[in-house]
Amino acid sequence: MIFGIPLEIRPHEYRVGAMPFVVKELVKRGHQVLVEARAGEDSLVSNEAYEKVGALIVPSSEKLYSQAEAILKIQGPMPVEYDLIRPEHKIFAFFNFVNNLELARNLLGKGCSCFAYEMFTTRDGKRPMMAINGEIAGKMAVQQGMFYLEKQNSGRGKLLAHITGVPPTRVTIIGAGAVGYFAAQMAAQLGAHVVLLDKEFRRLEEVRNNLPPNVETLLSTEEHLLQVLPQTDLLITAVHQPDARSPVLITKKMVSLLPPGSVVVDVAVDRGGNVETSKATTHANPTFVVDGVIHYCVPNLAGVVPITASQALSSAFWPYLERIAEMGFEEAMRQDAELRTGLAIYEGHVTNPFLAEALSVPVYDLNVEAEEDTGAEP
């Protein structure tokens, strides 16, 4: 296979689709890897570092897409990249199709195949690429929340770290998945009083044993939210539904219960948000104020820590990419049910049932197709 690693052009996306160690392993297995010039620059990976492990540097995205078969990206293609995509392309990325059906329609029209990191699920029900993004996003949510709590940023003027003789700052986190868990861990380690809410009692039991004693766990109910919100300095919302829009859990009326100068970090905004007053912002203009409450609603938190995030994503995905590289893309998708969970689109057909429902198109079953091709019984 010929793999291609393009330069990401989405605003404030500084990560790179694969680190040199991935390139080295692919080359060792007989594959060719093309890297667009400067693709790894913001992750502190030079063109020379890629060349050293066997990659060929190409001068432009046009050159890369014209030669590569498998495209290792971070984010789904931008409109200016659509004309570069051919039916034989296999694109690996975070597509977030649920919140961007127009992107799905355009890629369907190109007849290509798309492996969506956010959809990929292991046999034990885990989503490794989402988990690594969740760990980064959870810790970034605390970091950004701390910053906007400062008075010069119109925040309450409170320090998240606990200071002797001063009541601890109060952090409320909704959702005990990867984002919420790591946010709770970081905020608690700094000395804040943390309330972690989730609708699943079993999940709360599971995480409670691994968190410091200054983390209080509660079932996520309207009654409990109404109790904790008036005392909250920093609210982090992190409830994602795997293949659907994020549920709205905090109404505008609830936002008005938060103290003036408090901060909301809605990590679920990439899929619509958990807070009724949320709207997606950017790293260039990250906040807005509603009812005296600062809202931080940047969808792509991991993109601005590319040295950390690129390495983490490559490490999380390599074991699965290795299987694809060994088997070939088509055989891997047909034979490996675990890998197939990440396949959203195959040669211009929707293979993910949730995406097919959202687009009102039939779902394409590779298993059935494979059986028909070979004459095997279903």
- Tens-digit pLDDT profile for the chain (378 aa)? 999 999 999 999 999 999 999 999 999 999 999 999 999 999 999 999 999 999 999 999 999 999 999 999 999 999 999 999 999 999 999 999 988 999 999 999 999 999 999 999 999 999 999 999 999 999 999 999 999 999 999 999 999 999 999 999 999 999 999 999 999 999 999 999 999 999 999 999 999 999 999 999 999 999 999 999 999 999 999 998 767 789 999 999 999 999 999 999 999 998 889 999 999 999 999 999 999 999 999 998 999 999 999 999 999 999 999 999 999 999 999 999 999 999 999 999 999 999 999 999 999 988 755 444 434 343
Strands 170-174 and 70-75: unpaired
pLDDT of 374 = 37
Cα distance between residue 27 and residue 189, in whole Å: 42
Query: Is residue 298 located within the same domain as residue 327?
Result: no
CA atoms within 13 Å, Cβ hemisphere of 242: 16
- Close Cβ partners of 202 (under 8 Å, ≥ 6 residues apart): none
The answer as to whether 216 is a domain residue is: yes
Query: Is residue 202 located within the same domain as residue 350?
Result: no
Number of domains composing the chain = 2
Other C-beta atoms closer than 10 Å to the C-beta of 125 total 6
Cα distance between residue 282 and residue 299, in whole Å: 7
Query: Is residue 159 located within the same domain as residue 242?
Result: yes
Query: Is residue 219 located within the same domain as residue 325?
Result: no
pLDDT of 369 = 53
Tell how far CA 359 is from the center of its chain: 22
Strands 113-116 and 343-346: antiparallel
Cα distance between residue 264 and residue 277, in whole Å: 10
Q: Which domain holds residue 55?
A: 2-116+305-374
Burial 250-285 (b: 16+ CB within 10 A, else e): beeebbebbeebbbbbbbbbbbbbbbebbeebebee
The answer as to whether 128 is a domain residue is: no
Q: Give me 291's structure tokens.
A: 């009812």
Query: Is residue 102 located within the same domain as residue 19?
Result: yes
User: Any idea what the CATH number is for the domain that residue 109 is in?
Assistant: 3.40.50.720
Task: Look up tokens 């039916």; give the residue.
Answer: 87
Q: Give me 234's structure tokens.
A: 């920093």
CA distances from 296 to 60, 203, 308 (A): 35, 27, 22
The answer as to whether 169 is a domain residue is: yes
CA distances from 245 to 98, 139, 224, 272 (A): 7, 23, 23, 6
The answer as to whether 316 is a domain residue is: yes
